[in-house]
Chain A
Amino acid sequence: MKNRIIMHVDMDAFFASVEQAADPSLKGKPVMVCGGLESRTVVAAASYEARKFGVRAAMPLAIARMKCPNGVFIEGDPEKYIYTSLRLNDIFREFSPIVEEYSIDESFLDVTDVADRFGGPVEIAKKIKQRVKEQFHLSCSVGIGPNKLLAKTASDLDKPDGLTVLAWEDLPAKFQTLPVEKLYGVGEETAKKLELLGVHTIGQLANVPVSALKKIFGVVGELLHDAANGIDNSPVLTEAERPPPKSVGNDYTLQRDTLDDELIRSVLLGLCSKVARRLRKGGHAGRTVTLKIRFSDFTTITRSRTLDTHVDLDKEIFDVALQIYQSLHKHMAVRMLGVSASNLMHTPPERQRSLFDYSFWKKYKRVIQSVDKARDKFGERSIMWGALIRKEAG
């Protein structure tokens, strides 16, 4: 089998860099892009200048303001970033048809069969970096390796604006000397357990017998062992090859913690409506509805209900979510709500309805189909539930 050549392109401080490109006066300044400018939101991206002050992504805005009081705080503009991400992937596809949009700011490219045509993988990486800089005034870090794991690790070794090759022969010196938490897939908890075992580097993890890792981590133990030895056979998946989603969900953090039942019902309706719309748009229907509630003391309750049939209509999902909500003991004000549908069926067949309410559901479905058509043409907010227009539930 031909040795694979995989490339990982990671945009540097993506959202913050896009804002600096849009407003060149922000270049060189600590810029923090946030979900909103209220104190309850978190930093979505921090420019490298902001990182010098200790600001990191996912840090609460209030803390970021303390660490970097003179920084520039900008409310994020998702449409700007999504559009840029799509165009960046168009550039990548000019070099290889096998591109996996891994996240909004990261992509994998399989350049195995096209590398020679462009003078080798390093030349491709240089050309991509140049195109991205010319077209968007953005920088990216590129990692090249024989698989996705090593390519991703490589892109992180020299940020920002780096270009790093991690070949098999580099493993002992450049990969296995890294701290174990740098290994993709090793989270905080796993790293803590490994530390207790005296495993501090990827190399030390590679030397732990797979049987011992399986005893501690179960099936994940084998994956950890493979990863520490640089083994990853997962393919680069194009959009068409990606598996369908396992669940569809939406969360919402309220502007203020609340005990207001009417407001909570409205927020639930908004969430269920969004989930149902996403299900229908993707051609899915879900059998399990899950409600997540976070209270003001950050305790979180998650409850699910599995139905006899798959559902994809706003009211069907809302009815279940509301039943779950009403069955819960609410010990304090609610901070965050989340609704998701799982146990999905893709391209669900027409459902058999009870004779008693057949007429209602037939009419309801027809209304929702018309609403979907209107939203497709005029936008998501062109038609909405009356209950969502009030307060902050939309």
Chain B
Amino acid sequence: MKTTSVEEVNEPIDVLTIFRDGGIRPVKFKWAGKTYTISRVTYEWVSKEGSYPIYHFAVMADGDDVYEILLNTFTMRWTLSKVHMK
């Protein structure tokens, strides 16, 4: 069986994002010098830090790998929070 583990990363990333019709759609992100093209957003959720929403996305990029990225609306910064390693 192919094993999967989830690694905490918590590193800032640059994300090319489309804001349309009140929604947020991450398209590409750059992490550790490499650009990843998002092929699919598999899950979305919102948490809160105080009164500021944090938008979370589980995205597939460059194959089967899943990355969890988040936009903190207080700092207006994107972070790569986790990578599902295969």
Please report A residues at the B interface, Cβ cutoff 8 Å: 18, 21-26, 29, 70, 72, 74-75, 79-80, 82-84, 374-380, 382
Contact = CB atoms under 8 A, between A and B. Distances in A.
Interface in B33-84: 42-43, 45-52, 56, 58, 60, 64, 66, 68, 74, 84
A24 B58 CA distance: 10
Nearest to A24: B42
Given A70-B3, A382-B50, A21 B45 contact: no
A382 B66 CA distance: 30
Contacts of A79: 45, 47, 56
Contacts of B4: 23, 25-26, 29, 72
A82 B54 CA distance: 14
12 contacts: A18-B43, A23-B84, A24-B42, A24-B66, A25-B66, A80-B43, A80-B45, A83-B45, A375-B50, A376-B50, A377-B50, A378-B51
B42 A22 contact: yes
B6 interface: yes
A379 B50 contact: yes
Interface SS of A by simple majority: helix
B6 A74 contact: yes
A177 to B, nearest CB: 39
B20 interface: no
A294 B1 CA distance: 39
B24 to A, nearest CB: 15
A381 B22 CA distance: 29
Main SS at interface, chain B: strand
Contacts of B48: 379
A11 B72 CA distance: 29
Contacts of A379: 48-50, 52
B51 A377 contact: yes
Given A72-B3, A376-B50, A25 B84 contact: yes
A79 B48 CA distance: 9
A82 B68 CA distance: 17
B72 to A, nearest CB: 10
Contacts of A25: 2, 4, 64, 66, 84, 86
Query: Max chain A CB contacts within 10 Å: which of B3, B42, B43?
Result: B43
Closest CB pairs A-B (n = 10):
A22-B43, A79-B47, A379-B49, A22-B58, A83-B45, A379-B50, A378-B50, A23-B66, A377-B50, A72-B4
Nearest to A25: B64
Given A72-B4, A377-B52, 17 more contacts: A22-B58, A23-B42, A23-B66, A24-B42, A24-B66, A25-B2, A29-B4, A75-B6, A79-B47, A79-B56, A82-B47, A374-B50, A377-B51, A378-B51, A379-B49, A380-B50, A382-B50
